[in-house]
Amino acid sequence: MTPLFLAALLAAAPPAPSAAPASSSDFLKQRLGTTAVAQVFAPGVPALSLADKRVAWSLTLAAHAGEDIAYAQLGWKLVPAKRLLESVYLFGREGQGAAFDAQLANYLVRFYGHTGNHDQVTGQKFVPEFTPEQLEAAAVRALKAGAPLGVKDEAALKAWLADLRPTLFDAAFEPQLTSKAPPPGQDLLTASANTAYGLGVTMKDLEGFSEKYPLDSRVVKQDGKLVEQVFRAGTPDGKVAPGLFAGELARVNGHLGEAMRSAAPAQRAALGKLVRFFQTGDLKDWDAYNIAWLKVDPAVDANLGFIETYVDPRGHKGQWEALVNYRDAKENRIMELMGRRAQYFEDRLPWPQKYKRKKVAPPVAKAINLITTYPQPPAGINLPNEQHIRERYGSKSVMVTNVMEAASALVRLPMAMELSPTQEERAQAARFSVTARKWLVAFHEVLGHASGQVDPKLKGQSPSAFLREYDNTLEEARADLVALWHAFDPALAELSPDHEAIARQMYRDFLAEGLTNLRSVETGDSFEEDHQRGHQMTVTYLREKGAVAQKVVDGRTYWTVTDHARMREAVGELLSKLMVIKATGDYEGIRALVQEKGIHFEPALRDEITARVKRLDVPSMLLISSPRLVPVLDAKGQVVDVKVDESQDFIAQHLERSLLGRLPAAEATRVAASVAASPEALREAYRALPAP
């Protein structure tokens, strides 16, 4: 793809509301420098039953109600900073000048896009282009205009702004979201800006401390002792007291209760168990929910809760996650094959027989479209993460079709073309890259994360307890390697006569992704993010084995497959090593691999790739804009339909989410049905909010 063609693609106007995308250019919604906002589509919503539409709407409100929890987990003062920025945008920017207006909008896009002020990929902090003085002038204007800022006068406002100033404007204050290579004098916890552990809590403090709520609590010091602050709403009978995020979780549960009214019996029972978990925070209730969730396969589903542990330097604390989806039947063939033949693929893995699962529970595997998502969703999901549930009850694996379509059109396919050294390989990329990506994600999620079993010597403990900060890196690399190992399996001939060509493209695209990862780390020579560390470790291993070569053609660097059979053999070797390390909880084994092969890269190569991407004008960051669901009410205020609007501005979408997330179910539904989706229309609804 030429830069000129790509520029035309990226500059195209957004599609008409509710229209399925006709071409790749339909995806681009907004472009801010190297960041692009992409619209995803939900063409299947109109065909859902009324009951499923009501479930989708209530789950969407539950997602919005918990969103501030995610911000609070990523920074100590991000929720008040978010309130301030939203109030200034709605009430205080007029009269401040076009430059400030543009700078505020750009910062808000990044702030919403990364759920705070740290880049979600690199973990590095970013700061606004506008000054503290400009923000103060706009905040004073907002206060006078009636913004619900929660301060009594201008003096209190200025004191509040001074308190928030380091969080917003000082790049050296809390510079890294999650630090896995802390500077001298600090450790993994004290050097990390996230709030998984209280201020001053160190790794040494945690030695010998037994956590009853390792997934859903914050460990803090109180009177010199470590205490777990559990994330829970409390039970109605008062037997379990409210905990951290009680108000948000109570609103989440209110929306889940509404969803239960329309859900089928099995899904209703599962949602009831999720409500119970949010009340108690007890991991036994979380297990009960996950087991019930695995047994149902509704048309509309969700991932709600404290799920992924990437942000915690120790890999224990779950971050709030909320994704609402529906089944995409037309893309289901690859998922159905893997679910149907899961035991076949497990038996053919290259690691020792004793670590292969003997009775693989058929996973729930399906292609989905997201209805409601945070701005950087995954292309595939495999849950639950709890190993003991996977081994006994199986897992649920999904490929996220509408996210993959947007990413392929705007980023992956152009990059695959740029990083293919020959005309023949560029032609192969144009033909097979999109399918190869879908197959890799399907294998990664359906079979990769769900495969294998641990050594009995671990006595039922999760490998993460032993592998600690390297657990997520290992697991992501292992899942990718499972995909690469199975890519040439003859069973895939069932899906396409071109299955071997697609497998070869999967190998080439994996190397291309390794190069494109470099551009995300703007300074330094180290990866911090788990997926990127795992990817770098794998490519380094393959290069050392002679399966991958670094070549320069016409002044451009490429990573190329020297021989596909040799690369598959090397893939099998590393995959077997990682499985044995996981199964035995070998901390020193994974530490050595990651430290030696997964962290450092050549800055000169990063600079070259960055320059090439800049010339190509491919966005380095893709943020996803969800379809907007609009409830249609009857005279009694009951939802009788749900419409889809795909024209909503990215900032307006998040302003509306912030608004709806602070309202109880009935009021949130009424406001969503009656308030237009523009910032101007939202202003009055915000004015009516109680002050925080």
SS3 per residue for 297-313: CCCEEEEEEEEECCCCC
Task: Give 292's contacts (C-beta < 8 A, 6+ positions apart).
Answer: 266, 269, 270, 273
Q: Which residue has the higher pLDDT, 222 or 683?
A: 222
State both tokens at 429. 């990329």
Evaluate whether 621 touches 113 at the Cβ level (below 8 Å).
yes
CA distance 421 to 111: 37
- The pLDDT, as a whole number, for residue 129 is 97
| pLDDT(197) > 80 | yes
Task: Beginning with the edge strand found earlier in the chain, give each strand of the sheet holding 35-39 in spatial order.
Answer: 28-32, 35-39, 621-625
Query: Predicted confidence band at 677 (pLDDT cuts at 50, 70, 90)?
Result: low
Q: Of 283, 225, 275, which Cα lies nearest the Cα of 251? A: 275
Q: What is the mean pLDDT of the chain?
A: 92
Question: Does residue 454 or residue 362 have the better pLDDT?
Answer: 454
- Report pLDDT digits (tens) over 465-490: 999 999 999 999 999 999 999 999 99
- Asked whether 483 and 492 are in contact (CB, 8 A), the reply is no
Instruction: Region of 174 please: left (phi>0), alpha (psi -120 to 50) or beta.
Output: left
Beta bridge partners of 557: 552
Tens of pLDDT, residue by residue over 418-450, are: 999 999 999 999 999 989 998 999 899 888 998
Can you give the pLDDT at residue 6? 28
Reported as a pLDDT band with limits 50, 70 and 90, residue 21 is: very low
**pLDDT score at 19:** 39
Per-residue pLDDT tens for 527-566? Answer: 989 999 999 999 999 999 999 999 999 999 999 999 999 9
CA distances for 533 relative to 175, 192, 536, angstroms: 20, 18, 5
Which has the higher per-residue pLDDT, 330 or 497? 497
Backbone angles phi, psi at 98, to 5 degrees: -65, -35
pLDDT, greater one: 679 or 452: 452
Contact 21, 28 (CB under 8 A): no
- Whether the predicted pLDDT of 161 surpasses 70: yes
User: Which two tokens mark 202?
Assistant: 């160190």
Would the pLDDT of 167 be above 70? yes
Interval 386-413 mean pLDDT: 90
Residue 523 is predicted with a pLDDT of 87
How far CA 376 is from CA of 249, 343, 388, in Å, comes to: 23, 32, 28
pLDDT for residue 24: 60
Q: How far apart (Å, rounded) are the C-alpha atoms in residues 105 and 113?
A: 12
| Better pLDDT: 398 or 71 | 71
Residue 10 pLDDT exceeds 60: no
Rg (CA), the chain: 25
The DSSP output letter for 118 is B
d(CA 343, CA 490): 15
pTM of the model: 0.83
pLDDT band at 507; cut points 50, 70, 90: very high
**Across the strands, what pairs with 625?**
39
Mean pLDDT along residues 277-283: 98
